[in-house]
Amino acid sequence: NEPIWYESISDDERLEDMQDALKALQIESYLGIPISLTNGQPFGTLCAVHYEASQFEEKSIQLLQRIAKLFSYYLELEQFAWKDTLTQLYNRRYLMRQWETEQQHSGALFYLDLDGFKQVNDVYGHETGDKVLIDVAKRLQDSTRSYEDAFSVRIGGDEFLIRFTHQKTKKEYERIAQQLLQKLGPWQTPYAVSTSIGIVLFDDETIKLKTIIQQADRALYAAKKDGKNTFRFADAVSHRVQ
């Protein structure tokens, strides 16, 4: 949690093993200021480098420390604006902003709803319910970590979305849905919780996010109606939701 600096890398024996790599990057002097969130969690560093040897005055270090502190406050505000406070997943506001700034709308939307969650709150209390939601969020993040084009959203309550921004085949999305059902399937706990999923595939630059969510919600309803702990595609249930 303290600044670190090297005024002349060539003259510093501590960096002997790194000198060739740093010279190739034209770095002769370095100053690094740690950036931490307000809860103390480390985020990264604010770095200043120069191709010549430099002297770092105390005033300069203090100035960069203040900038790093301001940046940590910005990160905290960003989390409040775009993240769900309970699960730390993205929120609906982030989903809408991402949709508005995306140049081309294609991919898939998974709409997830927990089966049996109401009973968890009614029988075991809301504190246990919150723990379940936090656990679900972690499982979603674990399940989508290998997909660079995916991010998870908590819409509210026990409803979640996964947005895939690149196109895949329907068979690939079926495999992903099966994996999610296994990951979020019946837990070895006194309460029985599983997941139902509604899926919409699309490739239309003019389609509205509201329309896709409505279609996914209808597919989710069909999955619930067909026994829960399963998934349905929107195109497979359209004839039932006219």
Interatomic CA distance for residues 201 and 224, integer angstroms: 19
According to DSSP, the residues that pair with 154 across neighbouring strands are 160
Per-residue pLDDT tens digits for 118-174? 999 999 999 999 999 999 999 999 998 888 889 999 999 999 999 998 888 999 999
Domain with CATH 3.30.450.40 in the chain: 4-79
Domain with CATH 3.30.70.270 in the chain: 92-240
Instruction: Indicate the fold that domain 92-240 takes in CATH.
Output: Alpha-Beta Plaits (3.30.70)
Q: What is the mean pLDDT of residues 78-85?
A: 82
Instruction: Indicate the fold that domain 4-79 takes in CATH.
Output: Beta-Lactamase (3.30.450)
* Rounded (10°) CA dihedral 185, 126, 152, 141: -60
Is pLDDT at 186 greater than 50 in this prediction?
Answer: yes
The mean of the pLDDT values for the chain is 88
According to DSSP, the residues that pair with 200 across neighbouring strands are 109
Give the residue from 231, 211, 209 showing the smallest Cα distance to 220: 231
Is pLDDT at 72 greater than 90 in this prediction?
Answer: no
**pLDDT-based confidence at 241, cuts 50/70/90?**
very low
